[in-house]
A and B are shown apart, each in its own frame.
Chain A
Amino acid sequence: MSDSGTAERNSSTSAARKRWEPWNDPNERPHVQIANVTKRFGDFVAVDNISLDIYQREFFSLLGPSGCGKTTLLRMLAGFELPSDGQILLEGEDMSGVPPYQRPVNMMFQSYALFPHMNVETNIAFGLKQDGVPKPEIERRVAEVIDMVQLNAFARRKPHQLSGGQRQRVALARSLVKKPKMLLLDEPLGALDKNLRTQTQFELMNIQEETGITFVIVTHDQEEAMTVSSRIAVMDHGKIVQVSTPAELYEYPNSRYVADFIGEVNILEGRVAEREGDHLLVQSSEAGCTIKTGPSADEPAGRQVWIAIRPEKLNIALQAPPETGVNCLSGEVWDIGYLGNLSIYHVKLDSGKMVTATQANMARLIERPITWEDRVYLTWAPDAAVVLLN
């Protein structure tokens, strides 16, 4: 797969995705409905009253730290765990009485779970054999998916004779060959090294496009979720905190938890001073200035709020802007990290609060214009600041 091909494909898919938003279409029927599902293990509540709709052809991510209940939710979709409460509906049909071996759903396991005593071909054919598919058809379909994951040369090898990346593709092929109504992927790329992971992310997206199967993926890697997903559900302590597209999640997080979990963020505490048109003016002693926010809901004066600003949206300068009372932080450069493409500045504000700003290194710099202990000013556009209530 050539790089230019990937890029082209991605731009076209993202263009398609912009129009394709079944979750915003009231006429669209959800493919999977998770309705008030709770899972308890003894006293421990692993999944706490979750309701979620997933639509056909979606690439849906469950994102959260380990122990947040995302894997339990996935295992309930596969049928390995039964909900303590609530229902899971697949195409409107209640799945609670259906054991895993009768669900039209397949799973790709984190450990890949390849059968060690079977070769690539028999591993992939296993599911079809269970359904009593006639032999010629099994052969045809197996050959098809082996082709799709480019393992033709390895069809007769056993799992231990394959590299990690090859095993991952066998696992994917094996779960795809039955053409499930939904494919569940548990940390599918977790065991791969970073380079292979990025490459495989795009392969996964292509395969999902090609087959049109609904993918539900569990991951703790926010970058991976952002790359592949149509929508992401961020989970914490068995609850869903926010369900949105990657862009919305990044630009409009609904809580400090999400803002912090997805990417880097600076969070400044303050209180609402007054409303000015559709903006809020927030007084923050941490920031040492008044913060004028982007368009925002009305909040009563005096309410405690948090302002989230992404580091790349902060503009760093040695000269003070004309107006320093609003949307302008000032402090001392405490640390500089040079990453090549970016430089990261840690700035200590006068209140003692540390703020991070990143700048793209557009020009080749021989001499850094900004250096340690410089007094700098950080400014941003009003709509870069998001108001968070919790």
Chain B
Amino acid sequence: MRQGLTWFNSASLILGFLFLYLPIALLVIYSFNESRLVTVWAGFSTKWYSEMWNNEGLMNAAWVTFKVAFVASTFATVLGTLAGLIMTRFGPFRGRTLFSGMIYAPLVMPEVITGLSLLLMFVAISLDRGFVTVTIAHITFSMCYVAVVVQSRLITFDRSIEEAAMDLGCTPGRTFLQITLPVIAPAVVAGWLLSFTLSLDDLVIASFTTGPGATTLPMKIYSQVRLGVTPEINAVCTILVGLVATGVLVASLVTRRQEMQREREERAAQAAP
């Protein structure tokens, strides 16, 4: 078929991406607005950033959020990688259906339900709510995302590589560490990044499971947003969006470059006699 865009294709791409990016762009732009009024442009200023920096409540919330996200995504990556491995490499075992159900269900479960149920359980076992409970909650739902990411990588990779390692005298445990883990490493890293941003983003589950002294940034943003749009919040959002976007862009550009390099080398190898 003739490749190429009709006017309709170009229009839908341009309008579609404008729709996706314009709100964020406006948010970023107005974070540099001198005026407190969102709709009036009163000149460029970074004063909201310094104000944000001096807002102790916001900064504390940010620090809590990063701690939670870091700990939760690390645990979630370990548990999720194990879960992905179990789903693809362990064959049938008793309770497998329940296990895969518990992996997939949190992905489609409304956050209000996950949050409510975890909170009710923490109350039932009288676990004091705070940093620990939020972290447990975040581990629980992010590990399922990690499991799915790792699983899809494991499914596509040639199992005979693992068999070859064992055939050459490597025990199953060592095979996992020396062969499987290095091969699926990109998926594990992607899983970690995904858990980190999910945890960074989460408002609903954190609101249910948190306690005094463990207010996260999204909760802080949410409570301020209810009072109205402020340039200060715009500044916080800009920084968060900037961080995540840079991270994702860099990660995907690096993998993209590696892939292209690899393809070039493969082609070169096949062309040589």
Contact = CB atoms under 8 A, between A and B. Distances in A.
Contacts of B179: 115
A131 B169 contact: yes
A101 interface: yes
Most interface-central of B166, B170, B182, B270 (chain A CB within 10 A): B166
Interface string A42-86: 000000000000000000000000000000000000111000000
B166 A161 contact: no
B169 A109 contact: no
B160 A109 contact: yes
Contacts of B171: 101
Interface stretch (A162-170, A267-275, A307-315): A162-170
A197 to B, nearest CB: 16
Contact of A101 (B158, B170, B182): B170
A127 B169 CA distance: 6
Q: How large is the interface on A (under 10, 10 to 19, 20 to 34, 35 or more residues)?
A: 20 to 34
A214 to B, nearest CB: 16
A79 B161 CA distance: 15
A117 B183 CA distance: 7
A99 interface: yes
Interface residues of B, number: 25
A106 B268 contact: no
B51 interface: no
A162 B269 contact: yes
Interface string A337-353: 00000000000000000
Contact of A160 (B161, B167, B174, B262): B262
Interface of A: 78-80, 99-103, 105-107, 109-111, 113-117, 126-127, 130-131, 157, 160-164, 166, 174-175, 178
Given A115-B161, A117-B183, A127-B169, 17 more contacts: A80-B167, A100-B166, A101-B171, A106-B167, A109-B160, A110-B160, A111-B160, A113-B163, A113-B164, A114-B164, A115-B165, A116-B183, A126-B170, A160-B265, A161-B268, A174-B164, A178-B169
15 contacts: A80-B166, A100-B167, A101-B166, A101-B167, A101-B169, A103-B167, A106-B167, A106-B168, A113-B161, A113-B163, A115-B179, A160-B265, A161-B269, A163-B272, A174-B164
